[in-house]
Structure 1
């Protein structure tokens, strides 16, 4: 998963940032793709650790388990989820506007 993160999500994240800075029309599609990828990676990380019985760290330790494992990784669930909802809202609004314009043409 780290290889995909480094080779795919890194450049794609840069492209997304540039698309927002330049107000390119595909910026929310890129935001949705990157956010879904980040969310998938973090869910996969939590699941594999759960499946391995949390054997890679000290279970229930306040610093290693709760802060590093739970809190620091939960950030990568909350932020992409919020960005997915934001992209959904913008893309839905754009599609509604396009549908309304097409109805008026007909």
Structure 2
């Protein structure tokens, strides 16, 4: 009989299916609330922000509830506790209500989640002011990722378990790197809009030189 650790479990399957389901709902939302001729960049942004908001409110919201009112994931019961124990097998801090992680999740759930919804409203109404808030949100997302992992790296990563392929490449790498790559792209796209608009206003405000 093999003593090799199980890589993929039933909890893994349900958790990843839940994430995929959230992504599908976000896609449906973009089709419903955006015009068919919307830029692909705006459609992608809508899908991401809808996905982001639902992840913050449901998955991370459940972690916050279990860690604040249930005291910690490892001693809680229920499907969300099972899901977070699965993730905590890769990063132990999520099972023990680490104060740094919980503090970041308070900002994420109560700050970033509502901000996503506000930007979605702006996107649906084609309000260009959204680009400012997209940059604010993206900066906050990047800061949250940095403060989640930088303290761990500086101390030799004592709470990270990289022995399981699924835990390493899906939970720790993929599930976190998308919250780096996508916000960086959103910042670039919004910066391009803000910069081009300001330059256009500046050019229009300059007095035209008289012909000699």
**Runs (5+) with no aligned partner, structure 1:** none
Q: Which has the higher contact order (CA 8 A, sep 6+)?
A: 1
2:144 maps to 41
* CA deviation profile, 1:42-85 (whole Å, cap 9, x unmatched): 12212122134222232343111222111210011000000010
Give secondary structure in 1 for the equivalent of 2:113. Answer: helix
2:126 maps to 23
- Which residues in structure 2 correspond to 1:47-58 (within 5 Å)? 47-58=150-161
1:82 maps to 185
The separation in 1 between residues aligned to 2:125 and 2:105, in whole angstroms, is 29
CA RMSD in angstroms comes to 1.7
**How many residues are treated as equivalent by the alignment?**
106
Q: Normalising by the residue count of structure 2, what TM-score does the alignment of the two structures yield?
A: 0.47
What displacement does 1:7 show?
1.1
**Runs (5+) with no aligned partner, structure 2:** 1-103
The separation in 1 between residues aligned to 2:150 and 2:163, in whole angstroms, is 17
What displacement does 1:88 show?
0.7
1:98 maps to 201
Would you tell me which structure has more helix in proportion to its own residues?
Answer: 1
